[in-house]
Amino acid sequence: MTQYFVKKDLNPSFDNSLVPKLLYICNVDDTHTRFPRTMHMHDDIMEIIFVKEGKGSHLIGDRNYKTKKGDILIYNNGVLHDEYGNGDSDTNMSVFCCGITDVKLAGLPRNHLISKEQSYVLHSGEYASNIESLLEMMYSQISKEKPGAEEICSYLLRALITLILQIPQENFVLSKSEESVLLCDIKSYIDKHYQEDINLKSLSQRFHISTYYLVHVFKKSTGFSPIQYIIRRRIGEAQSLLINTNDSITKIAGMVGYDNTSYFATLFSKTVGMSPKKYRQLWSEN
């Protein structure tokens, strides 16, 4: 037997005034992940995604990622993300997803686990089995409504986050070119005004560039044309409203920028793979 001693006193990673709180945890199989979850962001919460099996493609912030088994995806509070198929007929992606609030690390905004200079996707490597075990225990406690589940998950969550912080992180060199600044300005404008009547002509006039250059710059970075981006931004917000509210489909269509409910339903079905009504039923059943 080898006995090891703790060499250092405890130096907590978290702000003393806040304790990370688990809001929800999902064990999601390919019944759900094969349907795109388009552009959306979360207010006052962050999410941690762990890929148990399969592969996929994700746009997080302004970066595209090819994701695979063992990857950890960090969705900071207020950061847009888009989950979509990577062109394969069957990616078989299954994931754990947990929503968290009251995370405060030194030097970072509230509910941010990494800085914008770092990759939003981490490769768990040797940490994979421990991370999956922690998530399995949290899911078991909450799904089975065991006595003391909330307290147990509070400790497990802190262990999970601390373990993730041990994983080496990749830094990005942020481009300061005129093109990258222009792209950020265009994305920011669309993200604020996506519910309004925006088209290529109005965007090109606003930013004093040709429509050809607008599409070229935007698609090179995001993988989508500006119009595709606007549609996915609207549909992503509609998905959140369908999952989290009881608002009618007609009301939701108007909230995301579509006066014609039939046209909204057609775009939704084309983007997601099922009608708004079926999408709401799928999530309410689970």
Q: H or E segment at 61?
A: none
- Domain end residue (candidates: 142, 165, 188): 165
Query: How far apart, in whole angstroms, are the C-alpha atoms of residue 17 and residue 62?
Result: 32
The vertex-109 CA angle with 77 and 177, nearest 5°, equals 85
pLDDT-derived band at 86, boundaries 50, 70, 90: very low
In the chain, pLDDT over 70 holds for what percent of residues?
A: 91
Confidence of residue 97 (pLDDT cuts 50, 70, 90): very high
Q: Which of 116, 50, 49 lies closest to 78 in space, CA to CA?
A: 116
pLDDT tens for 126-139 read 999 999 999 999 99
Cα Dmax for the chain: 73
In a domain, 10, yes or no: no
Residue 210 and residue 82 share a domain: no
Residue 220: the pLDDT is: 83
pLDDT, tens only, 155-175: 999 999 999 999 987 765 555
Q: Could you give the CA distance from residue 228 to residue 235 in angstroms, rounded to a whole number?
A: 10
Q: Are residues 113 and 202 in the same domain?
A: no
Is 9 inside any structural domain? no
- As a whole number of angstroms, the distance between CA 189 and CA 238 comes to 19
pLDDT at 222: 82
Residues in CB range of 28: below 8 A, 6 or more apart: 94, 95, 96, 97
* Banded model confidence at residue 7, pLDDT cuts 50, 70, 90: confident
- Is 84 within the bounds of a domain? yes
- Please state the rounded mean pLDDT for residues 255-262: 94
Cα–Cα distance between 220 and 232 in angstroms, integer?
17
Of 60-74, 176-190, 251-265, 272-286, highest mean pLDDT: 251-265
> Which CATH number covers residue 277?
1.10.10.60
Whether 84 shows a pLDDT value over 70: the answer reads: no
Beta bridge partners of 123: 71
Which residues, other chains included, contact 198 with Cβ-Cβ below 8 Å and sequence gap of 6+? 190, 230
| Average confidence (pLDDT) over 206-218 | 89
Residue 31 lies in a domain: yes
Measured CA to CA, the distance from residue 128 to residue 106 in angstroms comes to: 25
Q: How many distinct structural domains can be found in the chain?
A: 2
47 and 154 co-located in one domain: yes
For position 109, which CATH number holds?
A: 2.60.120.280
Same domain, 140 and 31: yes
User: Residue 250's domain spans which residues?
Assistant: 178-284
Residues 227 and 258 reside in one and the same domain: yes
Whether residue 81 sits in one domain with residue 26? yes
Res 16: pLDDT = 67
Q: How far apart are CA 157 and CA 154, in angstroms?
A: 5
